[in-house]
Structure 1
Amino acid sequence: MCDIQYIGPFRNHLKNHIELKQAVGYKYATEARHLKRFDQFTLEKYPNANCLTKEIVLNWCSKQPHEVQANQRARASILRQFSKYLDVMGLSAYILPKGYYPKEPQYVPYIYSTEELVRFFDQTDQCHYSSECPHRHLIMPVFFRMIYMCGLRVTEARLLTVGDVDLTTGVLSIHHSKKDNSRLVPMSNSLVERCREYSAKVHAFATSEDYYFPTLGGKPMTSTNVYHNFRRFLWLAGISHRGRGAGPRIHDFRHAYAVHCLKKWTEQGRDLAVYLPMLRIYMGHDSFQDTAYYLRLTADVFPNIILKLQNRYPDIIPVLEGDSCETD
């Protein structure tokens, strides 16, 4: 149920659109907040509007100062869905053509080497106690290892609860991730042991609803907090950051996990036609294409195995184009 109050000229349609999305299983919380800003925009600029015109759509979707293109495309996509809803309901609405705003040049993921990972994790192990975040020195060694060793998205790790980390079976429960998908993620024995030691120190009296990586007040770490720690460890590990939009990024740990898995399986002679579907489920990919993308990335990062990959899987190695890795 949508609990945001809409007061602009499209208030009832916005409310009904969001409730319909949520009724069929989408969380649609972020989108609802974006549409609240659109609601305020139309209230101020077009208070008497009775249809969603091209002028309203293009004015709302116009790029804002200092806004990156990906954010503009995301706003446009959300409004496009609302326009399609109005059209289905028989109301006049301009539907922005798909791909109306061009994509930014594709980001090429940074694949950490084994040596870089060792240096980075060694720095997390040296993290000091901080009164501002009393558990930081305990959290960081486990948090970043979990992202890499389980191929998690940052938000998936941030929002884990104590109940999501089963230390008996060694399995993580990921709930309502990208596109509202959920999955089970087995951990390695070494990571399970680290989690047991961590839990004994941090969660001796915790409930299953408590966040597994808490900050002050029991709240989950923010993305900003995680990023600041990441940049500090990166610098201490001697791994150069190439500037805004160039990486390395935290999300590249997830890319590195997939590439390293494929490299190992290829060198071991494993049948990737069997292992790729397993990797797809493990990482929570929505389509096989998302997983197959890593075949090309693996071949590019490790050219010594490119012939082996291309000879065995010539038809499923995609060209690196588009922004599929950005939505992963």
Structure 2
Amino acid sequence: MTASELARDAQDFLRFKRAMGQSYLRGEFVIGGFIQFVASHWGRDGGVRLDVAVARWTARIAGRKAVTVGLEFGVVRQLCLYRRRHDPSSYVPEHALAPVKESHFQPYIFSHDEVRQLLAAATNHNGRFIWSPMFRALVLVLYCTGMRLGEAVRLRMVDVDLKRGTLLVQHSKGRSRIVAIRDDLVRELLHYIEARQQLLGNTHRPDPAVLFLRKDSSPLTVKSASEALRVLLRKFGMKPQSGRVGARPYELRHAFAVHRLTAWSVEGVDVHARLPWLSAYLGHLNVLGTEVYLKATPQLLDLASSRFEEHLHHARRPR
């Protein structure tokens, strides 16, 4: 196998993935890095056994998190599986080469007061590119829907149906979904869209047809939105002044999920029966991705413990 042959097969593989409706941009990045690794070690046309190349590429950086290695390995393994369709003898690495271990990462779960604090700061924000009506609407959409930051930033005007109270998230993680929103969020978005129209009139720029605009009427980017949110998190001490530790913008999604589960639990709802609902709403591929929120906060665990203790108290004693 040569790097040139891998590059050719990779293009076929990416066309196949995109024909199935997946953007596969992250996968393309990983595969490109793998091919570059092979080319740098054995040349574009130098032969190498694929099992050797995959093993050395997987172990190329010492001390990496097992979850990260496993996710990248999974992409290259998918490429190998695709190659086997045309060549039954083609090598496919075993999962044991890069086992995906359980992540012990604990997200920062915002309290309701912290969410209100962030919203108040966004409402009064006046930055060079980030303006307050847009920033307030963005924080509300993130917290009230649990959308990923990229999903919210990529919303187009045609994806927003305020008469029906829905937002359309298109082609995220290989699928699309309709997100229903409450009437109070509808009213907030109506106010923002009015301000958005005034902004376009003041800047005399054509409408880029995306929901969230920066102060110069250009489309909001994930990078600028993420940076603006991190500034607020550092301002209120939820994140250190430097480094990657502490709360992240993504934690608004975690807060939505945990607060929803906690509310159901307080109401006496069977949380496990509602998990598939929440899973579909969040755009998870399966309910396993949603179950992790059940142990994300001590409050949920305390509620579960209290319910179980109450159940035991009322249970009949054995004769």
* TM-score range for the pair, normalised by the shorter chain length: 0.7 to 0.9
Aligned-CA RMSD value: 3.2
Partner-residue secondary structure (3-state), 2:32? helix
Q: Which range moved further: 119-128 or 104-113?
A: 104-113
Q: Does 1:174 align with 2:169?
A: yes
Q: 1:104 to 1:282 in 2, by over 3 A?
A: closer
The answer to whether residue 189 in structure 2 is matched with residue 195 in structure 1 is: yes
Contact 1:9–1:49 (Cα < 8 Å) also in 2: no
Q: Deviations over 1:150-184 (max 9, x none)?
A: 01111111111111121222211011112x12111
The answer to whether the aligner puts 1:9 opposite 2:5 as a matched pair is yes
Q: Which residue of 1 aligns with 2:116?
A: 118
Structure 1 pair 138–24 and aligned structure 2 pair: CA distance change class (3 A): same
Aligned to 1:251: 250
Distance 2:123 2:270 in 1: 36
1:184 is paired with a residue of what secondary structure?
strand
Match of 2:157 among 138, 162, 168: 162
Spell out, residue by residue over 1:12-38, the C-alpha distance to the aligned partner (whole angstroms, 9 max, x if none).
Answer: 322222222222332223322332343
2:75 is aligned, of 70, 75, 78, to: 78
Specify which of 76, 85, 90 is matched with residue 88 of structure 1.
85
Look up the SS of the partner of 1:8 in the other structure. Answer: helix
Separation in 2 of the partners of 1:17 and 1:230? Answer: 37
Match of 2:264 in 1: 265
Cα gap change, 1:172 to 1:310, in 2 (>3 Å): farther
Mapped partners of 2:307, 2:240: distance in 1:
30
Distance in 2 (alpha carbons) for counterparts of 1:245 and 1:88: 42
Secondary structure of the corresponding residue to residue 26 of structure 2? helix
Alignment TM-score, normalising by the size of structure 2:
0.81
Q: Which moved more, 1:70-79 or 1:194-203?
A: 70-79
Q: Distance between the aligned counterparts of 1:168 and 1:79, measured in 2?
A: 44
> 1:310/1:21 Cα in 2 relative to 1: closer, same or farther (>3 Å)?
farther
**Is 1:53–1:94's contact at 8 Å kept on the other side of the alignment?**
yes
Structural mapping, 1:199-238, within 5 Å: 199-203=193-197, 210-215=209-214, 218-222=218-222, 224-238=223-237
What SS does structure 1 have at the residue aligned with 2:293? helix
Distance 1:43 1:97 in 2: 23
Residues 169 and 104 of structure 1: CA distance in aligned 2, closer, same or farther (over 3 Å): same
Q: How many residues align?
A: 302
- Distance in 1 between the 2:39 and 2:217 partners? 37
Whose radius of gyration is greater, 1 or 2?
2
Q: Distance in 2 between matches of 1:55 and 1:312?
A: 58
Q: Distance in 2 between matches of 1:98 and 1:194?
A: 48
Query: How far apart are the structure 1 equivalents of 2:302 and 2:282?
Result: 26
Percent sequence identity over aligned pairs:
23
Say which is worse superposed, 61-70 or 187-196, in terms of deviation: 61-70
User: Unpaired runs of 5+ in structure 1?
Assistant: 1-6, 314-328
The aligned runs of 1:44-55 (5 Å cut-off) are 44-46=40-42, 47-49=44-46, 52-55=49-52
What residue identity is the alignment partner of 1:221? Answer: T
Q: Which amino acid aligns with 1:220?
A: L
1:34 corresponds in structure 2 to 30
Matches within 5 A, 1:271-282: 271-282=270-281
Relative to structure 1, is the Cα distance of residues 11 and 234 closer, same or farther in structure 2, using a 3 angstrom cutoff? closer
